A = this chain, B = another copy of it.
Amino acid sequence: MADMTDKAGVLERWISQARKGYFEMLLLARLQAGRAYGYQIVASLKQVPGFENLAEGTVYPVLTRMRNDGLVTAEWVAEDSGAPRKYYTTTQFGAEVLAEMKAIWAAMSAALDAQEVTS
């Protein structure tokens, strides 16, 4: 429960909300930069500020949903050494959706700045 001046508490709750939506876009952007497998994605995105504690249980359901939506495809790849890995790749459709997401995100940022001036 957030105290009246518990900045960390207020921000923490806000971040957990702000992450929604953003995370899917971030994940899509990560795959757009090059195919990757689940475990690698988790390790990679853990380095993004605010995602230090990213769990696999968060990533896999999103990957499944994105595959159902046709944003990405998955493909098993047998490696020279180690267990086979499931690589995810963005589809053409996924690339288009990502572009629109980014445009909307940019519009949101612009609307935010616009408030400052509009007295």
Interface residues of A (CB under 8 A from B): 2, 4-5, 7, 10-11, 14-22, 24-26, 29-30, 32-34, 44, 48-50, 69-71, 93, 96-97, 100-102, 104-105, 107-109, 111-112, 115-119
Contacts and interface: CB of A to CB of B under 8 A. Distances in A.
A108 B22 contact: yes
Q: Chain A interface secondary structure, helix, strand, loop or mixed?
A: helix
23 contacts: A4-B70, A7-B100, A10-B69, A11-B97, A14-B21, A14-B25, A14-B101, A15-B21, A16-B21, A17-B20, A17-B21, A18-B21, A18-B22, A18-B25, A20-B20, A22-B112, A26-B108, A26-B115, A32-B116, A33-B118, A49-B111, A102-B112, A109-B109
